Amino acid sequence: MKFHLTLPSILLIAFIFPVTSNAQDLQNLLERGISYPDSSAIWIEIARLYEFQGEYDSAIHFVNIALEKDPDDLDAIGQRMFINMILERYESCEADARYILSVAPDDLAAIYCLAFSLMESGKYEESISQIQEGIELAPRLAAFYSLMSRILTRQGSFVESGIFISRALDIAPQEPGNYFIRAENEILSITSPSDLLADIYPPRFSAIGSSEIRTLDKYVSDRRHPYYYKTLTEKFFRDYRSFELDEYFMLYYGQTLSEKYAPYSGSDREIADSLHSMLSREQYAEAAGLGSEWLEKNPSDISIYYRTGMSYLNAENYPKAEEYFHKYHGFITSIIATGNGLSPESAYIVISTSEEYTVMDYLGYKVSGQLLTEQNDNYFDILTGITRSGEEKQVYFNIDKPFGSLGKSLR
């Protein structure tokens, strides 16, 4: 669910063979590897099994064994390239991609991985050059148009970005990541630069932090202010595409002054579980109806937007899928725009602990621990997350609002 761009299905197909992920398969492959230690193909197959299970470091280990047997095996180098991109090891990914292209200059997967790595390293012009080559070779491959759109958005070229992401959606309307890219482009294109720090990407609000949280109440409760909760709600239902990033956050935050605000009730979790169950049973229309009905009454339950969007997407109702993915992206990126999560001073601001896990999932972290702490009369949850590469990261969330409501309910 992480919008760090999820890689298009075509690249997954290019690198992951269909295997059954169980211990017996692995045991059989390892026995074959011991019996035929000089066969690089067996070690590559073992690596693919680990990759399929998400055990990327183990996959890299066995790919490297295969390359010891055959240093010029492009299949193994391509597999390592792809895994390095997943693990955000962009220099290594770039090196592997350049080697493959030195031997096979028309290799589309290597062109894409090189362009992606160059983008994440801030080398936009060289990345654009690679994307243009990819589009020329494969004009019906949506991934290149999506990537071009992301770079253009980062450069502030919103109109051009919109053209490319529209093309990607025409080709691949079933790819959720394309909807997020369009939403990002549309929301940032109308968000006032004065509300954002222009030199940081993703954008950050310039004036929201733990010390300012309590001052926000006066805005969402003031009938004359543009952030007045009822005003924002009406605007949101009337024309969500006109919502700027700060308005998404203030609508989200404004729920805290509602009499219905109950961050520990678990109602959203129950709905999310029901939607997940319906999706697994392929009851797409029913799930879409449940999610949309719930969100009419609870317009800021973030995780519900994603599942409702997936329901509409699987039902092939692409316009409605785009609507709910757009709203999901607007809310979650507005939370991420409140800080960077690296310290109490720059904690992400949430109004429910369930959003902490939604954000962690969006960032690609698997939660392994949680700690409550207090500093200068502000309360924080510190979540420990495990990245795809196995690195531990601590992420700070300001929970003044949900923690404060818990205290009131106990009085």
- Each of the 411 residues of the chain gets a pLDDT tens digit; together they read 343 434 443 333 333 333 444 555 655 656 555 555 566 787 888 888 888 888 888 889 889 988 988 899 999 999 999 999 999 999 999 999 999 999 999 999 999 999 999 999 999 999 999 999 999 999 999 999 999 999 999 999 999 999 999 999 999 999 999 999 999 999 999 998 888 877 677 778 876 776 677 788 899 999 999 999 999 999 999 999 999 999 999 999 998 888 878 888 778 888 999 999 999 999 999 999 999 999 998 888 898 999 999 999 999 999 999 999 999 999 999 999 998 999 998 899 999 988 999 999 999 999 999 999 999 888 999 999 998 888 899 999 999 988 887 655 444
Rounded CA Rg of the chain: 23
Q: 122: alpha, beta or left, given left = phi > 0 and alpha = psi -120 to 50?
A: left
CA atoms of 178 and 288, how far apart (whole Å): 20
Helix axes 302-314, 318-336, angle to 10 degrees: 160
At residue 361, the pLDDT reads 93
Place of tokens 């109440």: 217
Q: How far does the chain reach from its first CA to its final CA, in angstroms?
A: 39
Domains of the chain: 1-101 (1.25.40.10), 210-336 (1.25.40), 344-409 (3.10.450)
Q: What is the C-alpha to C-alpha distance for residues 399 and 256, in angstroms, rounded to an integer?
A: 12
Q: Supply the pLDDT for residue 403.
A: 85
d(CA 68, CA 75): 13
H helices present in 87-141, as ranges: 90-103, 108-120, 124-137
Q: How far apart are CA 101 and CA 194, in angstroms?
A: 43
Write out 360-391 in H/E/C secondary structure: HHHHCCEEEEEEEEEECCEEEEEEEEECCCCC
| pLDDT score, position 27 | 58
Q: What is the pLDDT of residue 6?
A: 41
Residue 56 in tokens: 């990327």
Instruction: Classify 390 in phi/psi space as left (phi over 0), alpha (psi -120 to 50) or beta.
Output: left
Q: Give the per-residue pLDDT at 244.
A: 94
